[in-house]
Amino acid sequence: AMAGWGWARSVRGLLLDVSGVLYDSGADGGVPIAGSAEAVRRIKASGLKLQLCTNETQATREDFVRKLRALGFDVSVAEVTAPAPAACRLLRERGLRPHLLVHHDLLPEFAEIDKTSPNCVVLGDAAENFTYANLNEAFRLLIGMEKPVLISLGKGRYYKEIDGLKLDVGAYMKALEYACDVQAEVVGKPAKRFFESALAELGVPAEQAIMIGDDIVSDVGGAQQCGMRALQVRTGKYRPSDENHPEVKPDAYVNNLAEAVDIILQQL
């Protein structure tokens, strides 16, 4: 596995996906992936910079970090790049007033945003909130707009929870795109602007950063399009078929985050 890792010598910072890399989510808060909490400690002890780059939209960053800390991860809110704050920046910049179809627990992230007479729809991983009535309400708003604006907090197809795979926001985004003949704007991975924000917060240029994720398209493909190296872990939603992906070829496969950190630290 060591062959061909010479490029890791120049690394100064790591971007880590969270769900499927640090832990598998679930109803009771989830379970850490073996060795991952220790791996985060080792990254920090090594002097490498660390930023969590997540498409998590079921919780505010504060609640998300609280949950991760309870699972044994030494992380802070400042170390989390997530779609909701990025979406709020975009809404403010463009004078957009959203109708929110998001998880109830995410609503505090949008507390300061004007939501009167909406002129766009913001879609997040609403989970149980993805009812027919709620999707239809979002559809009616969009179809009634002269220039419909649909903003999606990610475009993942599915993710892994303890009890199995779960449909992600991208499936519902596609439904609304199709029904309204509109192209969604994605805030979150794999959008280039989102990775660039994460790199800016990491304080490291793309060529000195490595992205580690379980999603071949959003994590690995998205990071590589920004000029980063990207590793695929064989945890989380990883499936053996990912290794034959027609477009995306990771810079390396690792069994888990702990193994990735072992190899990277050996190069330094």
| For the chain, percent of residues with pLDDT exceeding 70 | 99
Structural domains in the chain plus CATH codes: 12-55+189-267 (3.40.50.1000), 84-186 (3.40.50.1000)
Residue 139: band (very low, low, confident or very high) from pLDDT cuts 50, 70, 90: very high
Q: What would the mean pLDDT of 200-222 be, rounded to a whole number?
A: 97
Residue 146 has pLDDT above 80, yes or no: yes
Residue 84 is predicted with a pLDDT of 98
Q: Tell me how many degrees the CA angle 264-267-268 measures, rounded to the nearest 5.
A: 95
Q: What would the mean pLDDT of 117-135 be, rounded to a whole number?
A: 97
Element holding 257 (H helix, E strand): helix 257-267
Residue 27 is predicted with a pLDDT of 82
Whole-model pTM? 0.95
Q: What would the mean pLDDT of 174-193 be, rounded to a whole number?
A: 97
Between 40 and 2, the higher pLDDT residue: 40
User: 90-105: b or e for each residue (b if 16 or more CB lie within 10 Å)?
Assistant: bbeeeebebbbbbbee
